[in-house]
Homo-oligomer: A and B are copies of this chain.
Amino acid sequence: MYIPTYDDVLAAHERIEPHIHRTPVLTSSYFNDLVGAELFFKCENFQKAGAFKVRGASNAVFGLSEEDAKQGVATHSSGNHALSLSYAAGRRGIPCNVVMPRTAPQAKKDAVKGYGGIITECEPSTSSREEVFAQVQAKTGGDFVHPYNDPRVIAGQGTCSRELMEQTDGVDIVIAPIGGGGMISGTCLTLSNIAPETEIIAAEPEQADDAYRSFKAGHIIADDAPVTIADGLKVPLKELTWHFVSNHVTDILTASEQEIIDAMKLTWKRMKIVMEASCSVPLATILKNKDRFAGKRVGVIITGGNVDLDTLPWIK
């Protein structure tokens, strides 16, 4: 298992800079007053392809040798990693094969196709996904870019907190959502090198709290099929992300489904930004643990904005 280093983050940043946005950091006097802290929202919902995942995906795609790039890339994902890898592969002009469950939202499939991704559908089960993916990879020879358990992907995600620290002149705490742990691992990698005193807090839905339980137990606990509105956070930690989480994360906080929805709606209302349920989890945990954050400078990573606008969770 290769553990990426901060040099990999620096190389990633140089490699992906032409293909990503340096996303803005927004502040809100409303939320500052509400929490009694200074919050800095790193808006990856404004990122290319609508999510931070384009950082890691671009690093993998543009880091391939000419020879390896010929076969293109391949992955399995029903979400933002599929869009991001399709986007990056499209920019490089190489094929991108994505295995998606046939039950994935049509809008997501359309977006993947819009970026030039080639979809092969599987049944919505782990066994079908793995079986179909093995066939696709055997046929295409595409380089497998895992959504998070890949050193190239983690190094790419690490560029986000590097920008955040530059844009804010430093913070006391960085908080980000945790699913498979790619963003948190990139954050750990960067901050443990350039700001080792900065606390790193992961935020997770109560109904998909496998990372929280892993963190407490000291080993990976993976759930079969957690159910949460934060659909980007259902996947389990893997060995590489567990390495970073277990070594560098200060704390994991959780929020209920209603707290997540309330934080999501409140952010749309007060900050006028469209963000996913998954990235509302950090703010939800901040609002229920104000004492933990009071008086601190807090970086909050808004991980994505790819929302189905036709089915908002507060409109029944």
Number of copies: 2
Contact of A107 among B26, B45, B269, B309 (CB under 8 A): B269
Q: Are B274 and A309 in contact (CB under 8 A)?
A: no
Q: Are B309 and A45 in contact (CB under 8 A)?
A: no
Assess A272 versus B45: contact at CB under 8 Å? Given A24-B24, A315-B315: yes
Q: Residues of B contacting A273 with CB < 8 Å?
A: 272-274
Q: For the side of the interface on A, what is the size category?
A: 20 to 34
Tell me, yes or no, whether A50 is within 8 Å of chain B by CB: yes
Tell me, yes or no, whether A134 is within 8 Å of chain B by CB: no
Chain A 245-281, CB within 8 Å of chain B: the 1/0 string?
0000000000000000000010011011111000000
Tell me, yes or no, whether A305 is within 8 Å of chain B by CB: yes
* CB neighbors of B among A36-68 (8 A): 45-46, 50
Q: Are A268 and B272 in contact (CB under 8 A)?
A: no
Contact of A50 among B107, B272, B275, B312 (CB under 8 A): B272
User: A315 CA to B305 CA in the complex, in Å?
Assistant: 19
Contact of A268 among B265, B269, B274, B315 (CB under 8 A): B274
* Closest residue of B by beta carbon distance from A304: B272
Chain A 197-226, CB within 8 Å of chain B: the 1/0 string?
000000000000000000000000000000
Q: Are A272 and B46 in contact (CB under 8 A)?
A: yes
Tell me, yes or no, whether A314 is within 8 Å of chain B by CB: yes
Tell me, yes or no, whether A14 is within 8 Å of chain B by CB: no
User: A24 CA to B265 CA in the complex, in Å?
Assistant: 22
Tell me, yes or no, whether A166 is within 8 Å of chain B by CB: no
Q: List 14 A-B contacts (CB under 8 A).
A: A24-B24, A50-B272, A265-B309, A268-B309, A269-B274, A269-B307, A269-B309, A272-B275, A272-B305, A274-B274, A309-B312, A309-B314, A312-B312, A312-B315
